[in-house]
């Protein structure tokens, strides 16, 4: 049995390192009346949520936007979360999965769902088992304290992508769908949207991309992405989760919150866009 523990790479940078401070920070993000849900979980929703899109920047920038999605799924009865994001550093394999061990945050350790990870690996020949690819990246790590805040017991399947083209994401979505189609897992696409453009440009481009996400239209999604040069870092993760959710029965996307770092922090010259979207 592999006892590998993936240590935090961005605690103390993207979110507080001290567990008590982190817990207080998460509470404040949920309570944020402007960009967050304005209340603490659990929600009283019984809506079937197949997947969601969440940002992955530092909590001071994107945390309140992310809290909207986690508030809504806080009443969901998922056993494991499949979290897919972009490989920011290009380390390791094109499609990198971890299939055992655990991830540590200041709030404790989270076990990898070894059985589910192995099934995905066996069923999808473009996936590689690769711990190195996950060693530095923040896109999955920043989701974990939110999950720990809303749920005591759960496991994860972490997947990060270098290759995010449409055909790759369709293959990955098909492979994961076949494994989970009769089970209840939470799907999370970890992605920020437009990077380092003016606030007005980010709003304009991101609204176009979000429209294609809400319609669950992967052709329109990739068309908007490239036609308007929308610099969403985890676009392949969004496409994959969108497609799996659609196969599972999702009829639409629901935008909970959109904001940029400029809206939140005040510097509107060069911003990053963040969205919280459910697939229902």
Q: pLDDT of 41-58, one tens digit each? A: 999 989 999 999 999 999
| pLDDT of the residue at 58 | 98
| pLDDT of the residue at 239 | 98
| pLDDT of the residue at 262 | 98
What mean pLDDT is predicted for residues 15-31? 98
pLDDT score of 2 more than 60: no
pLDDT score of 113 more than 60: yes
pLDDT score of 1 more than 80: no
pLDDT score of 212 more than 80: yes
Mean pLDDT over the full length of the chain: 97
Domains of the chain (ranges; CATH) run: 5-279 (3.40.830.10)
Q: pLDDT of 217-257, one tens digit each? A: 999 999 999 999 999 999 999 999 999 999 999 999 999 99
3 pLDDT band (50/70/90 cuts)? Answer: confident
Instruction: Check residues 2 and 279 and name the one with the higher pLDDT.
Output: 279
| pLDDT of the residue at 89 | 96
Poorest-pLDDT segment among 76-80, 139-143, 156-160, 215-219: 76-80
What mean pLDDT is predicted for residues 179-195? 96
User: If you write DSSP's letter for every residue of the chain in order, what string do you get?
Assistant: ----EE--SSBTTTB-SSHHHHHHHHHHHHH-TTTS-SSPSPP-------EEEE--S-IIIIIHHHHHHHHHHTT---SEEEEEEE-SS--S-SEEE--SSEEEETTEEEEB-HHHHHHHHHH-TT-EE-SGGGSS--TTGGGHHHHHHH-SS-EEEEEEES---HHHHHHHHHHHHHHHTTS--EEEEE---SEEE-HHHHHHHHHHHHHHHHTT-HHHHHHHHHHTT---TTHHHHHHHHHHHHHHT---EEEEEEEEHHHHHS--SSEEEEEEEEE-
Q: What percent of the chain has pLDDT over 90?
A: 97
pLDDT score of 78 more than 80: yes
What mean pLDDT is predicted for residues 130-152? 97
């Amino acid at each position: 049995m592999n006892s590998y523990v993936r240590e935090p790479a961005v605690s103390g940078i993207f979110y507080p390192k001290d567990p008590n401070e982190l817990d207080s920070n998460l509470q404040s993000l949920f309570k944020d009346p402007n960009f967050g849900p304005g209340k603490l979980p659990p929600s009283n929703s019984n809506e079937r949520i197949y997947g969601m899109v969440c940002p992955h920047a530092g909590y001071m920038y994107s945390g309140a936007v992310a809290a909207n999605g986690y508030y809504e799924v806080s009443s969901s009865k998922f056993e494991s979360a499949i979290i897919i994001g972009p490989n920011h550093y290009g380390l390791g394999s094109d499609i990198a999965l971890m299939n055992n061990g655990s991830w540590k945050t200041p709030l404790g350790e989270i076990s990898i769902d070894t059985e589910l990870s192995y099934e995905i690996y066996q069923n999808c020949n473009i996936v590689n088992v690769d711990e190195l690819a996950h060693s530095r990246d923040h896109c999955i790590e920043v989701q974990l304290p939110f999950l720990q805040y809303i749920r005591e017991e759960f496991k994860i399947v972490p997947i990060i992508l270098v290759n995010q083209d449409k055909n790759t994401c369709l293959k990955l979505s098909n492979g994961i769908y076949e494994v989970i189609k009769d089970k209840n897992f939470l799907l999370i696409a970890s992605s920020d949207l437009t990077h380092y453009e003016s606030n007005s440009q980010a709003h304009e481009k991101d609204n176009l991309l979000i429209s294609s996400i809400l319609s669950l239209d992967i052709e329109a999604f990739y068309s908007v992405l490239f036609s308007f040069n929308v610099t969403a870092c985890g676009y392949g993760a969004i496409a994959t989760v969108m497609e799996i959710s659609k196969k599972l029965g999702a009829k639409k996307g629901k935008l909970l919150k959109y904001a940029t770092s400029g809206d939140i922090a005040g510097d509107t010259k060069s911003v990053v866009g963040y969205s919280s979207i459910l697939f229902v």
